[in-house]
Amino acid sequence: MYLLLAPTINSYDIVAWAQTPFSMILQSGSTSVDTFFLLSGLLLVLSALREMDRSKGRLHVPLMYLHRLVRLTPVLALAVLIFMTLFPRLDSGPLWNQFTSSSELCSDTWWATLLYVQNYAAPGRMCLGHSWYLAVDMQLYIISPLLLIALYKWGKKAIAGIVLLILLLSGCVFGIVMLRDLKVFDRYGTEMRLIYYTTHARATPWLIGLLFGYFLHHQNVRKTRLSKWLALVLWILSLSMLATVIFAVYPYTQSGAGDISALAGAFYLCCSRIAWPLALCWIIWACQNGLAPIVNEFLSWSFWQPLSKLSYCLYIWHLLVETVHIARIKTSLHFSDYDAILRFWSDFGITLFASMFMHLCVEVPLGRFEMELLKRCQKKEDNPESPKVETSTEPNEVIPATSISRQNLVDP
């Protein structure tokens, strides 16, 4: 996306590229965020319900919140600090001020970023614009104990309530688009602030992950056998939904097609945020039940585990690296798929090294420090001479992020 904003000597080729079917894979790339919301809800409910089963329904909410803050805030705070101070001084050039001026927003909205409310408090002036995801995920995490306790105690009634909530939230998004006549694919206008950054507009995949995790929890390790024709039908349905979400708006990219109407955009937006996570739920379930051995072997490959440990730092630092790379250019570029691939790998390589450094210097020491504190607290609670304090979390199983290696899942 940054490459499309750079000065190029073949700008007309960009217009032609944007009208190709292949380009839709990248133009629909923002849909992948729903994958992370799905995984976040899924991991949370799996970890929490297993712990509640062991502790007879007790959930140590303060410890959950504390772990999440320690897990996310130090790296984020360091990124905000560097973005405000060192980042604007890294280089120069004719485009430097244009691409790095967003760092000035941090002087006004840094507090909202560290409190995880920037998606509502400063939607048009966010410090570290991509951190809106953290705000949404944190806000959902804060309300999660209510839903987790409801699922544990009331089961089917809670499921019905969550399904109703999904429908109400979808209706809310639909109404916002229609009443304000929004252009759903205007990524730089009001649409971003109202139906892209906000928690009520992005909660649907997370809630679907919550319900699916509840289903997997009660399925335990039992494998369900399906007839081959039914499994084939479900695979076709799942892949069709994924393809539809990616390519449904392709006709509107062609010359003379006109803008997508508010009604069509509202239907696409609401349906895609349900269809995408549901299709992924089938893939996860198929892997667990032996219906996708090749996919399961690839996703369970041990190669991904080191990258999964760096995933949070990669997410925080990638945009700063990409911004520096595009802002420092002093000549026009040539646009092509191959040039984009070369730029991607250079961005990814430098981001990987920066993330590895931050992981080793910030995440690992703080993680070890937290573990030691938890172990000491556990010893005091286990000491019969000290007052007995109820707890429901072992040091290595506070929230899903600490049990990834056992679940072969990546912390979003």
Nearest CA to 319 out of 293, 370, 354, 282 is that of 354
Which residues, at least 6 apart from 234, have a Cβ–Cβ distance to it below 8 Å? Answer: 226, 282, 286
Q: What token pair was written down for 226?
A: 């399906």
pTM (two decimals): 0.87
First to last CA, the chain: 22
For the segment 16-42, the average pLDDT, to the nearest whole number, is 92
| Cα distances (angstroms) measured from residue 57 to each of 381, 393, 395 | 18, 12, 18
Tens digits of per-residue pLDDT, 171-189? 999 999 999 888 877 666 6
pLDDT value at residue 403 = 37
Q: Where are the domains of the chain?
A: 2-407
Tens digits of per-residue pLDDT, 375-390? 777 776 666 554 444 4
Tens digits of per-residue pLDDT, 303-326? 999 899 999 999 999 999 999 999
At 241, the pLDDT band (50, 70, 90 cuts) reads: very high
Q: Which of 218-222, 265-269, 291-295 has the lowest mean pLDDT?
A: 218-222
Euclidean distance between CA atoms 235 and 241, whole angstroms: 10
pLDDT value at residue 411 = 42
